[in-house]
Every structure is written in structure tokens, then in C-alpha cells.
Amino acid sequence: MNKRQSRHFAIACTGMAALAFLVLTADSHRQFPELTNAENITPEVISGKDVWHDNNCINCHTLFGEGAYYAPDLTKITKLRGDAYLTAYMKNPADFYDEDTHRRLMPRQDLSDEDIANLIAFLDWVSDVDNQGWPPRPILVTGSSIPGTAMTSLQQARTPEAGEAERLPPGARPVTAADNPVALGESLFLTVMPACNACHSVAPGVSMAGPTLAGVGTRALQVIESPDYQGEARDAESFIRESITHPSAHLAPGAMYSAGGTSFMPNTYGENLTEEQISHLVAYLTSLR
């Protein structure tokens, strides 16, 4: 190839690359309204975006992986924490975390109730954006996980051999409708939205956004028998079911779990889960003794 041919080849390749870039850019802009749920951008969402920028939240947090990487990525935070929790947390983060224990503490912003509500509306809109799995490795809030990371690529690529499933980590164990309710409930504990393990640990003494569930099958009876219990449950199974569907029926002690008589636990499970799924969750949690 002579110089003239080389020049023509370079010009042609540059033109083709530029054309491909323009086509892909135009296609991306065509999909943006659907991917971002643009029709849901309300005045509250816009005001919340202003609150986010005015208070320099991005100096510590990230959205879609963009930010300071000093504190957790908040792209899906409203899928992991309910409005009541986020409201109380933003009013006074010190009620939830201790600087000496956790080595960092979100500064109190002294936001108004309206600003907090608008900021949550903005973050809720962000959480519904189809970010197509990006960023791949954000800094996560306590207890949350990236879908699929409970399994290695090898585990995802093949079917476990006979007897192997029992030796896999809980998040990597495949379940079918034929499995027992405890196994199905354990799978739901990790996969429902918001995921139960985003707020609760099943390890003794390990409390996160919610109290530990270690031994909840036994502690449920103790709670029912206590004079402070105001719910309607009469056994461990009905208490756990009540806690899932009506979390404010009994409030765990502690400022980080409730405020104003309302539990921070989302109250949507009773509507979003089927009776069968709730029964599976109850079976799993009851087995934690």
C-alpha cells in the first residue's frame, strides 16, 4: 500500500468510525426517555436534584458510579431503605452510626422536611433509571449486594452436580418449586426487593439498618409474652408474618429502627409478595433458633 492508498484508507476508517459514533449517539438519545423514565421527572424530583447539588452530596457519595467514592453509592438506595428510614437518617445521621465505631460519619445537613422529601423523590427517580448494571463495583450500603455476585462466574455457567448444591454458599444455591419452604424462604430473603439482607443480618450480635434476625424463631415467643407487645400474634410463625406485613405492629427498641411510632422497615411486602412467598419467608425465619 502506497502513501496515497494509506491516506485514503485512514480517511475512510476515520469516516466510518465517526459515522458509527454518531449513529450510536443518536440511538442512545432515542432511548434516554424510556431508560430514564423521563415522564416521572416531577417538580419534586427537580427540586431534589437541586438539594443534592446545593449540599455537595457528590463530594462523598456517587450516583451511577460518578462522585467521590468516599461514601456509598446511592443509585439504588431507595430500593434498599424506605422513606421513613431515609428521612430520619438525613435529619440526624448520628442516631444511626457512631464515628468512633464506624470511623466516619455523615455530617448533619440541617435540611428542611421539604428538602428531605424532595431529595428522596430525586433518589427514587434515580433508582428507577435503567443503568444497565453500571457501575460494576460501587461502594455499597451495609448489607446490599450486586445482583449475581453471590455466585462466581463458574457457578453461574454450569449446573451443579448431584449433592454439590448443598455445599455452595446460600446465595449460590439454586432453588426450584420442589425445594422445601425453608430453602425457598432463604432464597427470597436474599432476592426480594428490597432484599431482607440489605438491612438484617442472621449472625448473632450483628445489627445493621435493622436488628439481627439470629434466633428470631426463639425470640419471637419472648416478645409475644412481654407486656410491651401490642400486636395480635400468638406464636412465632404469626409474629414473624405480622412483622413482615405490618412492621409497625411491634417496634424494636432503638432510635435507628423507628420514629414516631412507625417502623423504618418497608411496609410493602404484604402487597408485593404472594401469600406463598410470605409463608416461605416465615418458614425460613422461624428456623433461625
Question: What pLDDT score was predicted for residue 144?
Answer: 64
Mean pLDDT of the chain: 84
pLDDT over 60 (residue 167): no
What the block records as the C-alpha cell of 13 is 476508517
Question: What pLDDT score was predicted for residue 19?
Answer: 95
- Are 38-127 and 169-286 the same fold in CATH? yes
Query: For residue 34, what pLDDT band results from cuts at 50, 70 and 90?
Result: confident
The type of residue at 199 is C
Highest mean pLDDT among 28-32, 68-72, 109-113: 109-113
Number of DSSP helices (H) and strands (E) in the chain, helices first: 12, 4
Degrees, nearest 5: CA angle 105-111-112: 150
Cα distance between residue 109 and residue 54, in whole Å: 11
Q: Report how far Cα 242 is from the mean position of its chain's Cα atoms.
A: 22
Question: What pLDDT score was predicted for residue 192?
Answer: 85
Each residue's pLDDT tens digit, 35-59: 888 899 999 999 999 999 999 999 9
Cα distance between residue 101 and residue 98, in whole Å: 5
pLDDT over 80 (residue 127): yes
Cα distance between residue 17 and residue 58, in whole Å: 34
User: Which CATH number applies to 38-127: 1.10.760.10, 3.40.50.720, 2.40.50.100, 1.20.810.10?
Assistant: 1.10.760.10
pLDDT over 60 (residue 152): no
Q: What is the mean pLDDT of residues 199-208?
A: 86
Query: 214, 207, 221, 216: which is closest to 257 by C-alpha?
Result: 207
Q: Residue 195: which region, alpha, beta or left (left: phi > 0; alpha: psi -120 to 50)?
A: beta
Question: What pLDDT score was predicted for residue 180?
Answer: 85
Q: Three-class SS string for 197-246?
A: HHCCCCCCCCCCCCCCCCCHHHHHHHHHHCCCCCCCCCCHHHHHHHHHHC
pLDDT over 60 (residue 237): yes
Question: What pLDDT score was predicted for residue 204?
Answer: 87
With respect to CATH, is domain 169-286 assigned 1.10.760.10?
Answer: yes
What percent of the chain clears pLDDT 90, i.e. is strictly above it? 42
Looking at per-residue pLDDT, the higher value among 272 and 169 belongs to 272
Cα distance between residue 122 and residue 115, in whole Å: 10
Cα distance between residue 247 and residue 233, in whole Å: 12
Residues 150, 169 contacting (CB under 8 angstroms): yes
Question: What pLDDT score was predicted for residue 46?
Answer: 96
Q: Where are the domains of the chain?
A: 38-127, 169-286
pLDDT over 90 (residue 115): yes
Question: What pLDDT score was predicted for residue 154?
Answer: 40
